[in-house]
Amino acid sequence: MDYQKILDEITSQTAYLQGKGEVASYIPELAKVDSHHFGISLHFLEGNHFQLGDAETRFSIQSIAKVFSLSMAIRLLDETIFERVGVEPSGTAFNSLLQLDYEQGIPRNPFINAGALVISDILVSELEQPKQALLAFVRKLSANPEIGFNPAVAASEKLQGYRNTALANLLKSHGNLHNEVEEVLDFYFHLCSIEMSCKELSRTFLVFANHGKIPGTKEEILSTSQAKRLNALMQTCGFYDEAGEFSFTVGLPGKSGVGGGIVAIHPEKYSISVWSPKLNKKGNSVRGMKALELFTTKSGLSVF
């Protein structure tokens, strides 16, 4: 199959969507991004790589980074982390606070903000220098020592982070945050400020398509069983309130971020990432969602 041609077609067939949606505005630094970017990158486990557009421009990966922090927590404590965070989809966002209270401070899953805060709390507890350790981990996975935080984005999120601060305090009131709220939030805001390009993302996520082993070095990051479970979580919980829609139209495990990036994997086959900054009302990239839908339709490569 001519994958480069498929990427070409996808690019032209989704061009009409570039202006649709809105750039995330609640984080002032993110609102400054040029909304005309579009990039796509495809890595096969067997080694082939295809890309198009701004595939090598770095952007704020935001919630996509929650996959990295979750991986670190699983490596450190394995399944015990699921005593503090669930594995179920979260339903509508509007009642997330109700749900968190109703379920005694146990977030529904590690990808909603409350869950990612609990995971952050775990890493802050377990690691000497959690921010450095996080960067080291991502750099190893990506075989790229240049990947880093964007301090301006982290600072910008902190300034407007009232809702996340509310969540962290609610978790604390239920006893499900062990460190100081400020320390956990500082880690969390840095996590979300990591910058990567589409090319770097799709290459890095190959590890999750490869049963948890880094393709080149064969180093085991997660056990086969751990990788399977992480992928299952991406499938059911990776897209805020659109996990069902993504599963339905694209049919791959994946994760999105409000920076406009999306990355998805096909276990044992490939990893694909796309970036277009304008978001739909659920917080997912408008053009990115359509591009991935077209990819699995054209290539026939979905898990279902």
Note whether 253 binds a copy of itself by CB under 8 A.
yes
**Partners of 40 in the beta sheet?**
52, 274
- Whole-number Å distance between alpha carbons of 19 and 35: 8
Q: Which residues are catalytic?
A: 63, 66, 188, 240, 258
Q: Which two tokens stand for residue 67?
A: 């996959």
Other CB atoms within 10 A of residue 253 CB: 27
Residues 6+ apart with CB under 8 A from 156: 27, 28, 29, 30
Helix or strand run (H / E) with residue 265: strand 261-266
Q: Which is nearer to a copy of itself, 80 or 225 (CB)?
A: 225
Note whether 165 binds a copy of itself by CB under 8 A.
yes
Find the shortest distance in angstroms from Cβ 180 to a copy of itself: 11
Note whether 214 binds a copy of itself by CB under 8 A.
no
Note whether 272 binds a copy of itself by CB under 8 A.
no
User: Nearest-CA neighbor of 122 among 169, 65, 71?
Assistant: 71
The interface mask with a copy of itself, positions 118-147, x = CB under 8 A, is ------------------------------
Note whether 169 binds a copy of itself by CB under 8 A.
yes
Find the shortest distance in angstroms from Cβ 51 to a copy of itself: 25
User: Nearest-CA neighbor of 109 among 96, 126, 122?
Assistant: 96
Find the shortest distance in angstroms from Cβ 200 to a copy of itself: 23
Find the shortest distance in angstroms from Cβ 216 to a copy of itself: 22
* Upper half-sphere CA count for residue 254 (Cβ side, 13 Å): 36
> Dihedrals φ, ψ of 187, to 5°?
-65, -45
**Rg of the chain's alpha carbons, rounded to an integer?**
18
**Partners of 52 in the beta sheet?**
40
Q: Which is nearer to a copy of itself, 161 or 260 (CB)?
A: 161
* Choices 65-73, 124-132, 138-146, 226-234 (CB under 8 A): range interacting with a copy of itself: 226-234
Note whether 60 binds a copy of itself by CB under 8 A.
no
Q: Which is nearer to a copy of itself, 22 or 180 (CB)?
A: 180
- Whole-number Å distance between alpha carbons of 139 and 95: 36
Q: What residues line the site for a copy of itself (CB under 8 A)? A: 86-92, 94-95, 97-99, 101-103, 108-109, 162-163, 165-170, 172-173, 181, 224-225, 227-229, 231-233, 235-237, 241-245, 247-249, 251, 253, 267, 297, 300, 302-304
